[in-house]
Structure 1
Amino acid sequence: MQFLKSLYIHNTFFWYIAILAGCFILSFWIPLLYPITWILTWVLLGLFLFDIYLLYSHSRGVVAERNLPQKLSNSDLNPIPIIYRSYYPFKTYISLIDELPQQFQKRDFEHRTNLLKDQKKEFEYLVRPVERGEYVFGNLNVYASTPLKIIKRRFVFQKDQKVPVYPSIIQMQQYDFLAISNKLTLFGLKKIRRIGHTQEFEQIKEYVAGDDIRTVNWKATAKQNQLMVNQYQDEKSQPIYSIIDTGRVMKMPFNGLKLLDYAINSTLAFSNVALKRNDKTGLVAFSKNIETFVPAVQKITHLNTILEQLYNINTAFTDSDFGLLYARVKRKITHRSLLLLYTNFEHISALKRQLPFLLAMAKKHVLVVIFFENTELEALISSDAEDLQTIYHKTIAEKFSLEKRLMQKELQQHGIQTILTKPEQLTINTINKYLEIKARGLL
């Protein structure tokens, strides 16, 4: 049974059969062709048995290995390398089929190549998951055939490998690397002009050309008989909370990714940047209940805690309770903090229902409400109208787009910071707002 399960007929063999069948038909009119066709039939049978011998005389034949990472990164292109090698003493034709997880819905994966004796090759393909969770890679199937291409032998490797898909680790590392190399402007991060000084005093030092004369410490100058200035540093260890709305409004997908996952990816990348700048970061996820609450801590290892919590967050199909969120924030977050609230409002009436709770949180904390542009509506608005129905659609789309801007103005009039962003630009705009607030000393 093991032999029969691994034995497959090559497509070329059916061409040989078709040619022989054609010769038998032609022999009805050309009798001389009939014995020749029978000879070719026996030759093909002999080659069939010989091909079986060539492929099965080597127990090892071909080996292959799929090198999966420990974690896959959600919404990113993740490379999956496969290394394979032939031990046959002849040129081997390879057809490699990897059974991808059912989440990708891809059933036509195939890679074809050929290998010489003892030759080793590596093949790499990319996968882009759009859901967090556990993904199961099935069999790695390798079909080997000789230059005769009559039969194929199947080799099966690495059955049912499991790998978790976490929030975008690649995106987080990307921004981390750019921050270290001081190239964040390549991705759209802005240089923010500092306004005034923070309140955290560092030291008194001698005046050098270029120092701000407004920082001259006259008492120290009189004692030292030379100009001395106060030196300040950015305030550190300030608590910052990412608050993620997991209600039904965050279920909306753009480019295959839910708004919730955009918010989760942004939270991870932003938390890493904030921790590197010595601030405390925490996490809150809520809908009808407070599903996750991680107190703000200033440890780089705290990022692992945030990552694990983000991995387990799911979207609910209910309206979120902002009153419950306000009560938890009031009770648990006692120090003035920066609150980044990821949510979405499609109608201004929805915003006005929640506005009293947002204003209550903004009295004690610096609240930034982050909500999303509907990029599909924006594409419809920018398209040309060719008939009456398209004009109606564009008019309705413009109404919804205007409401988004009115909601932003409404929040700003009440002193609440806002970010109205496209889903793809969420991380950049969030980090920019964080740098702006720090530079202006609002926290």
Structure 2
Amino acid sequence: MTKSLKSLWARFLFQDKGILPTKRLLFVYVILTAALAIAAIGGVSWWYVLTINIVVFLVSLADLFFSPKKSQLKFNRVMPEEMERGLSYVVTIKVDNPSAYTVSYRFIDSLPQSFVHPFPVRGTIAKDSSVKIDYDTTAADRGKYEVNKLYFRYRSLFGLWEKQTTVELPQTVKVIPDLTETRQYLENAQKFLLYEGLKIRKQLSGVGEFAKIRSYVVGDDPRKINWRQTAKLREVMTNEYEPEHGKFITILIDCGRMMGAELKKGNRLEKAIEAAMTVVAAALQKGDYVSVIAFSKEIKVFVPAAKGMAHLQTILQAIYHVQVDAAESNYAAVFQYLEMVQKKRSLLLLFSDVRTFLYEESALVYLKRLRSRHLFFLIGVEDQTLVKRSKAAPTDIQAAMVKSIAQQQLLFKKREKNKWERQGLQMIEAPEEKLAVTAVSHYIEMMNQNLL
């Protein structure tokens, strides 16, 4: 294909500048051609037919003078610099039309392929006016994207010819994890946990830092009654304690091959990152120090420990773009690295695939060393397909075999988990929709029990 033909083809595909005939003009020519063909059969001269076609074509070109020049239209795009994965956002295109002509338009924006494309967007712009055109889009994959060109077509009210212009509007947008659950926790921690059928466990009696003195209510531990304040106020008062602040929490996020398994919404890594961000928010809100390590066959991201809610953005900007690798995870390497960078006792919260982790015998050697200094906890997404097949009715031989194999896999996993837990290494699996709340609940329980 020659360069000119490529340019013409790109023009028809909304990818170049130029002038194109509209369907209305083509319809006029179809009617005219049919009428002239009948006339030609009746004996009208072919020169006459040709002349009529040329005259109609030249008259149609006059339509171009009743639409604005390309240089007259001004464009601007307003879109968020950050978008959360899976959530809908509004993008606004501002168009200034200072000309004396009303135009009908349609346009396509150069969004990345992973975004929802509601194009072409159509409408009308009155003469000597400015309009704001909104459209909704949703990003399916995390990462950093460039949004550059806007392809805009417009025509006059006669609508015989259509002008097309390509506008350079370079912008960068970051697609970050869905932070809906993180916001829900920050708004109301107890409501967030109760919504999923869990509640914040009570801490051990008398353990933690003194918080305040309050009125005694039914169910409080009588041993925590403050008799001095009770005598002074002539009302039963009790001491309230809260977990000690300033603990160290290390979040480990597995980005290996098995974390790419697809779930109902996204994959395992997406759910792990969203749950990890919720735990980070909970820990920072309580005054703990949080560090994050993302890894696969090597360390991808390391964020040193810090406290304060401002650290949440530091972590988010560091891990929002991490993707699943095609390689197996190297647990031994990350635990070895952890020994070097985390000297203080901390809670190691690993988001990974439990089944893959159980096959890593070498990781057990490093974890036994880490256990003397750190508290380890592994959480993964439950394999709903395996659970469903293990509970299916054995209606025929094949179904019975599938059920038997699924139950065998579950028994193996249970046996191996018991072996690791006897070594003091806790593991748990949760449904994908409850991964965040389960992780936060166990974090709070460990803090309240003063296990660190």
Residue 281 of structure 1, aligned match among 278, 290, 293? 290
Q: What is aligned with 1:340?
A: 349
Residue 93 of structure 1, aligned match among 99, 104, 110? 104
Shift of residue 341 of structure 1? Answer: 0.5
Q: What is aligned with 1:184?
A: 192
Q: Which secondary structure does the structure 2 equivalent of 1:12 belong to?
A: helix
Whole-angstrom distance in 2 between the partners of 1:77 and 1:225: 55
- In structure 2, the CA distance between the partners of 1:229 and 1:135, relative to structure 1 (3 Å rule), is closer
Whole-angstrom distance in 1 between the partners of 2:233 and 2:200: 36
Alignment gaps of 5+ in structure 2? 5-10
Q: What is aligned with 1:438?
A: 447
Q: What is aligned with 2:258?
A: 249
- In structure 2, the CA distance between the partners of 1:85 and 1:396, relative to structure 1 (3 Å rule), is farther
Q: What is aligned with 2:121?
A: 111
- In structure 2, the CA distance between the partners of 1:216 and 1:320, relative to structure 1 (3 Å rule), is same
TM-score of the superposed pair, with normalisation by structure 2: 0.79
- Residue 67 of structure 2 contacts residue 102 of structure 2 at CA under 8 Å; is this kept in 1? no
Q: Does 1:140 align with 2:139?
A: no
- In structure 2, the CA distance between the partners of 1:189 and 1:124, relative to structure 1 (3 Å rule), is farther
Residue 157 of structure 1, aligned match among 147, 151, 167? 167
- In structure 2, the CA distance between the partners of 1:57 and 1:336, relative to structure 1 (3 Å rule), is closer
Whole-angstrom distance in 2 between the partners of 1:90 and 1:285: 57
Shift of residue 344 of structure 1? Answer: 1.2
Shift of residue 237 of structure 1? Answer: 1.8
Whole-angstrom distance in 1 between the partners of 2:291 and 2:357: 29
Q: How does 1:342-381 map to 2 (within 5 A)?
A: 342-346=351-355, 350-352=359-361, 354-377=363-386
Q: Does 1:323 align with 2:342?
A: no
Whole-angstrom distance in 2 between the partners of 1:431 and 1:158: 45
Q: How does 1:19-58 map to 2 (within 5 A)?
A: 19-30=31-42, 41=53, 44-56=56-68
- In structure 2, the CA distance between the partners of 1:264 and 1:28, relative to structure 1 (3 Å rule), is same
Q: Which secondary structure does the structure 2 equivalent of 1:296 belong to?
A: strand
Q: What is aligned with 2:7?
A: none
RMSD of the TM alignment (CA)? 4.0
Whole-angstrom distance in 2 between the partners of 1:264 and 1:327: 22
- Residue 331 of structure 2 contacts residue 360 of structure 2 at CA under 8 Å; is this kept in 1? no
Question: What is the percentage of aligned positions where both structures have the same residue?
Answer: 22
Shift of residue 243 of structure 1? Answer: 0.9
Q: Which secondary structure does the structure 1 equivalent of 2:275 belong to?
A: helix
Q: Does 1:196 align with 2:208?
A: no
Q: Which amino acid aligns with 2:281?
A: N
- Residue 98 of structure 1 contacts residue 140 of structure 1 at CA under 8 Å; is this kept in 2? yes
Residue 262 of structure 1, aligned match among 260, 271, 278? 271
- Residue 419 of structure 1 contacts residue 429 of structure 1 at CA under 8 Å; is this kept in 2? no
Q: Which amino acid aligns with 2:204?
A: G
Report how many residues are paired. Answer: 437
Alignment gaps of 5+ in structure 1? none
Q: Which amino acid aligns with 2:183?
A: Q
Whole-angstrom distance in 1 between the partners of 2:345 and 2:369: 13
Shift of residue 236 of structure 1? Answer: 1.5
- Residue 91 of structure 1 contacts residue 115 of structure 1 at CA under 8 Å; is this kept in 2? yes
Whole-angstrom distance in 2 between the partners of 1:42 and 1:67: 45
- In structure 2, the CA distance between the partners of 1:253 and 1:217, relative to structure 1 (3 Å rule), is same
Deviations 1:167-207 (A, max 9, x none): 44x43663355337x64258527322314336334268586
- In structure 2, the CA distance between the partners of 1:419 and 1:379, relative to structure 1 (3 Å rule), is same
Whole-angstrom distance in 2 between the partners of 1:14 and 1:384: 62
Deviations 1:325-358 (A, max 9, x none): 3334344434332211011143686155533434
Q: Which secondary structure does the structure 1 equivalent of 2:258 belong to?
A: helix
Whole-angstrom distance in 2 between the partners of 1:18 and 1:384: 64
Q: Which secondary structure does the structure 1 equivalent of 2:318 belong to?
A: helix
Shift of residue 142 of structure 1? Answer: 1.6
Q: Does 1:271 align with 2:283?
A: no
- In structure 2, the CA distance between the partners of 1:92 and 1:205, relative to structure 1 (3 Å rule), is closer
Whole-angstrom distance in 2 between the partners of 1:367 and 1:287: 19
Q: What is aligned with 2:26?
A: 14
Task: Name whichever of 345-354 and 87-96 sits farther off.
Answer: 345-354
Whole-angstrom distance in 1 between the partners of 2:74 and 2:392: 53
Q: What is aligned with 1:308?
A: 317
- In structure 2, the CA distance between the partners of 1:334 and 1:86, relative to structure 1 (3 Å rule), is same
Whole-angstrom distance in 1 between the partners of 2:120 and 2:254: 41
TM-score of the superposed pair, with normalisation by structure 1: 0.81
Shift of residue 8 of structure 1? Answer: 1.9
